[in-house]
Chains A and B, each alone.
Chain A
């Protein structure tokens, strides 16, 4: 960090203001943003959604959407050249040549109708002035460098034939193919599974060292910050609140916001030595339910999906999404269901909510829900409610909050109009919203408030079990912590049981009494939270935990030294 004073920065952003055109005139989106990037340095832009991290990166690339955003003032210097005064043609040479970029969604960031080879060689042809054959040969070398096996074949493949992790490797290879001075990576691992994330982060570290690239890494994940950053720029609502070396951010944060954010991050291993989630309501005795009678028992649950067949010929074999899954949840307790994408955890949740066909047996309150009549099933459904991942998509935008929350009562024919209104007011208070909110519409609420509305809608039927499928995955860290605390409080006061489905090991650790780890549709390990987290039997469980980025830079460094990270075999 002392080096900075001596060497000239590669990139220097000074006093950058970006404005948005709104119906009410110009509104600042970025205010007075200044930072420098030293050679070979990794600088993290960290912050929650709406903090302006991505706008900053697009401003550097001069790729802000012209119709809505513009740079009002400031300067962006790349090795002493002012990027803001370049012509569009000169700027195109900078893009992909001097400054390259990787984006969040590897699934959508590559063109689906162009081969990997065509997309990779294009950048090389543009910036290095070589012919097609030479460009393809260099693309092949880059695929080698990002550890993709059989690169010659990959060049002829299309993006949909590669996994998410491999696509992100292709993106990295493409970005580094022209030896850029600066690499901007915008949430490069957010969409990836945790073990793949660990691999990609390691690859980025390795390559930026090999290529001597300076990196701007944009992330909301403080664990990723701790693993990757040399210095950190903390942003909030378009302003920089703090710029510090990574150790200082975690050990002696200057800004109050940094401290708040760090305290909201659940850390893996935090609940070590305890049996259940933290008790939040100290003054009240938690509701004790008869733990001997499980609210939910699942026996040999199987779910398979029939693939669309053809008119003639044999039907294709069905895909087994869930295989022989068995577990039970005692009243008032939480089973955390954890696994990577495609492990069958969401499908298990949907089967239990009886939203998809299944075989095996599911007992709710000791009663099998197989072969129930529609009316009997309705009574069971009251006891099992579901909260989904995306609070924006799971509320009908044309219904008022009151109508949304009361709808389950109407479906089940419970109560008079007045009684329903009273009940809506009551559950709104339970989720810490005001009863006055019921006349408003979903778009008037933030993501966290919407998820509270979803919880209220689940609560209104007084269920015994709530299936929460990635219910906080779409929320910012600080909001996430609040929603999780609310769910814990409701469990204490109402004696709710949860089937808590998540990919996030730290959140599972915080919320669960018992944990089941799923992989390829099967439960590979199940036990009390303490057993699974403190003494995992399966290598896979240990790999999942080791791959989680820990928000502590000293720990991250020691882990890196010991080489504790997951192996590099292609996932």
Chain B
């Protein structure tokens, strides 16, 4: 187990450096010049050149990259061009809000998705199953901002149950979490439905019925745990999608997380922040996958970590 964790740690570090390199190169290819953005449209060429020198942007690409990596090793993500603050400080301040939203969003997506998937599988080929499947397809296809606006219209503007935007109370988290969760719930409903149908046809489910186990217990105790493994693996992969959704949802609901930070940084071509947020997201995805892999042996005793 310790050996396994050490391996995964080494993998994680390699992945983060790979991502740092790729992001760095991609940002270099962006046609916008950060120095021009900072100086403003009316600045002279001299001012722009000064800013460029100040930020080290006049150095060759390799030098810039090595300097950045050197910082990374010491945990230094650089300084924001626009906000003149350490990127690390900016991100750290916003991480709690984002984690709150992620946990709530994932909880919402699992609760809705797994429940609907199980119901659809048990009642397969009935009207109920069809309705669940059509609904899941609709939510998968719906753009996130649209879902957000609909939820806001119904539950905030019309019914007034939840605040329109902001941060602070548990009520604030409901609508953004639902928006994030509804999209994923459609996916999970479909995955759970198909694995559950498969599991319900397994010999051991027949054994359970032949023992006289009641139907609800057959589904929840004998079948469901066997159907959850692909779901857990999916959560690890899904975190990437989830992070992308965060940018939109945090913007719509005015949620002060790193999604919003990224959104502002992209508009200002604030490369250190974009790099920082990208690395933090990559780290989140890697950690998500690691957690999924660590949970797997508890769900299925046949899995051994090596």
Given A111-B222, A310-B4, verify A67-B125 contact (CB < 8 Å): yes
Give which listed residue, B11, B207, B299, contacts A110 with CB less than 8 A: B207
Give which listed residue, A61, A112, A126, contacts B300 with CB less than 8 A: A112
Interface pairs (22), CB distance under 8 Å: A92-B212, A92-B213, A93-B212, A95-B209, A95-B211, A100-B210, A100-B211, A101-B210, A103-B210, A109-B203, A111-B208, A112-B204, A112-B301, A122-B208, A123-B212, A126-B211, A126-B212, A160-B301, A310-B7, A311-B7, A311-B10, A311-B11
Which residues of chain A are near B225, meaning CB under 8 Å? 113-114
Task: Produce 1/0 per residue, B209-250, CB < 8 A to A.
Answer: 111111000000110011000000000000000000000000
Number of residue pairs A-B, CB distance < 8 angstroms: 82
Nearest-neighbor residue (CB-CB) of B228 within chain A: A113
Q: Apart from A61-B210, A110-B204, list 16 A-B contacts with CB within 8 A.
A: A63-B210, A94-B212, A103-B206, A109-B206, A111-B204, A113-B225, A113-B299, A114-B221, A122-B213, A126-B212, A310-B306, A311-B7, A311-B10, A312-B3, A312-B6, A312-B7
Give which listed residue, B125, B214, B226, contacts A111 with CB less than 8 A: B226
Give which listed residue, A101, A158, A171, contacts B302 with CB less than 8 A: A158
Is A78 an interface residue when CB atoms closer than 8 A count as contact? Answer: no
B209 touching A108, Cβ below 8 Å? no
Which residues, 1 to 40 on B, are CB-close (under 8 Å) to A?
Answer: 3-4, 6-7, 10-11
Is A460 an interface residue when CB atoms closer than 8 A count as contact? Answer: no
Is B202 an interface residue when CB atoms closer than 8 A count as contact? Answer: yes
Is A105 an interface residue when CB atoms closer than 8 A count as contact? Answer: yes
A313 touching B212, Cβ below 8 Å? no
Which residues of chain A are near B203, meaning CB under 8 Å? 103, 105, 108-109
Which residues of chain A are near B202, meaning CB under 8 Å? 108
B interface residues (Cβ-Cβ under 8 A, vs A): 3-4, 6-7, 10-11, 125, 202-204, 206-214, 221-222, 225-226, 299-302, 306
Nearest-neighbor residue (CB-CB) of A97 within chain B: B212
Give Cα A113–Cα B3 distance, bound, in whole angstroms.
25
Cβ of A123 to closest chain B Cβ, rounded Å: 4
Cβ of B1 to closest chain A Cβ, rounded Å: 12
Give Cα A310–Cα B7 distance, bound, in whole angstroms.
8
A109 touching B204, Cβ below 8 Å? yes
Which 5 A-B pairs have CB atoms at the shortest separation, nearest pair first?
A96-B212, A96-B211, A95-B212, A108-B203, A111-B204
B207 touching A127, Cβ below 8 Å? no
Which residues of chain A are near B11, meaning CB under 8 Å? 311
B10 touching A112, Cβ below 8 Å? no
Is A174 an interface residue when CB atoms closer than 8 A count as contact? Answer: yes
A112 touching B213, Cβ below 8 Å? no
Which residues, 97 to 125 on A, are CB-close (under 8 Å) to B?
Answer: 97, 100-101, 103, 105, 108-114, 122-123
Give Cα A127–Cα B213 distance, bound, in whole angstroms.
10
Cβ of B276 to closest chain A Cβ, rounded Å: 29
Given A61-B210, A95-B209, A114-B222, verify A160-B302 contact (CB < 8 Å): yes
Nearest-neighbor residue (CB-CB) of B125 within chain A: A67
Give which listed residue, A92, A105, A171, A174, contacts B214 with CB less than 8 A: A92
**Interface hub of B10, B204, B213, B222 (most chain A Cβ within 10 A):** B204
Give Cα A505–Cα B171 distance, bound, in whole angstroms.
73
Cβ of A21 to closest chain B Cβ, rounded Å: 13
Which residues of chain A are near B306, meaning CB under 8 Å? 308, 310
A310 touching B226, Cβ below 8 Å? no
Give Cα A418–Cα B222 distance, bound, in whole angstroms.
58
Give Cα A311–Cα B6 distance, bound, in whole angstroms.
10
A127 touching B212, Cβ below 8 Å? yes
Cβ of B128 to closest chain A Cβ, rounded Å: 15
A113 touching B211, Cβ below 8 Å? no
A96 touching B210, Cβ below 8 Å? yes
Cβ of A319 to closest chain B Cβ, rounded Å: 15
Nearest-neighbor residue (CB-CB) of A101 within chain B: B210
Which residues of chain B are near A158, meaning CB under 8 Å? 301-302
